[in-house]
Structure 1
């Protein structure tokens, strides 16, 4: 079946999750972060994801803003950073993460070619709206779908079900794009055509499913959608 909708994970896919730590490290007064911002950004992201999985398994849901703060607290303690003002600044920057450079043109091209577009994310609605507005891509998105609608994080099937409910599509009519290999794999298991944006050249996750396509950035998504 031809692709009708292109749906994207948000954090790490459209928006650069390392941007908050990188930008804070460059600001005056945050010298303690300058030598460790990359480690902090990595740990922050890892704990953020781990906490979503653990909460989903345990049935202990909270919104992604809470998980993001919890992950940052762990990462700051691991880095030996005890600075309430820095924590507040990092959280504020997370609401306005930079989009990857190719994102606006890629989304605009999809819209020009008649594809429905959207986000499917663990993010809380208010977080996603802030990120989309900050990146200037709101006009290129038809829907912003959050796991808060079903009260459980990815990769629960209830989350992927939101796409068909929104667009009236069959799974095979959707190109689902994620920077998380596990997310792209589970999307494939759900029935989507999937693309993994593997910017860091990581190995493929050992899961029952494998993404249909592996890309290094998002620039090729319009052509991929048209060829699928």
Structure 2
């Protein structure tokens, strides 16, 4: 029996990161930012603005996780981060501007290949989302991405952001499977490292063709797209 067949037989659940893995966060927010920044008269690069926004959000969410205090919501971290970036870019803005930009995350669309690939995977596995997003944000997103996941889980239940180990353990427990019966799928290296360190199997969707660092927690699969994931696992 091949290693892939052994892997397939051990997996009961395919669990996905949502932002940047299922939905195209960079492109979707860039489309929003182009129009927003024009209204502000800002002449900079909207794509770079979104990258700056996303990196700041990640940094602030990791600060929140390391403080080990009451968990700030994803939306609160978003407001903090967007306001920070707008201020640093010297873009005049209101609280309503900040709230609007963060709210657009709820309306992001899937990467083009995702619906067909996940439909194929769902014929064999339970499909679950584990996201840093807030529960209400994830619920609102359902009508926009259109994927009928079997469960959508927010890290809010674990009182921490990924890649804290508690998030993956909570998600496996909520899904009713052992950690090593989960194939965790993400476009982000940090998420694959976190899930693998917690005991899950992992698939790194390497859309950006970036090398995976020499962590002791290497992904079980490195694939260019969700279509390739379905080709391997179904």
Say whether the fold is shared (TM-score over 0.5): yes
Distance 2:168 2:200 in 1: 9
Describe the shift of the 1:171–1:90 C-alpha distance in structure 2 as closer, same or farther (beyond 3 A): same
- 1:5 is aligned to 13
Pairs within 5 Å for 1:34-49: 35-49=44-58
Residues matched between the structures, number: 223
- 2:5 is aligned to none
Measured after TM superposition, the shift of residue 65 of structure 1 is 0.6
Q: Is the 8 A contact 2:21 2:205 kept in 1?
A: yes
- 2:173 is aligned to 165
Check if 1:183 corresponds to 2:183. Answer: no
CA deviations 1:169-221 (Å, max 9, x no partner) are 12222110011101101211222110111222223134331112222221122
Residue 125 of structure 2 is aligned with which of 112, 115, 121?
A: 115
- 2:78 is aligned to 68
Gaps of 5+ in 2: 1-8
CA deviations 1:5-33 (Å, max 9, x no partner) are 10001111111222123234146953635
Residue 216 of structure 1 is aligned with which of 224, 228, 231?
A: 224
- 1:204 is aligned to 212
Distance 2:220 2:124 in 1: 22
- 1:93 is aligned to 104
When the two structures are superposed, what TM-score results if normalisation uses the length of structure 1?
0.89
Q: Is the 8 A contact 1:187 1:194 kept in 2?
A: yes
CA deviations 1:132-158 (Å, max 9, x no partner) are 221111x2x011111111111111111
Q: Is the 8 A contact 2:79 2:99 kept in 1?
A: no
When the two structures are superposed, what TM-score results if normalisation uses the length of structure 2?
0.87
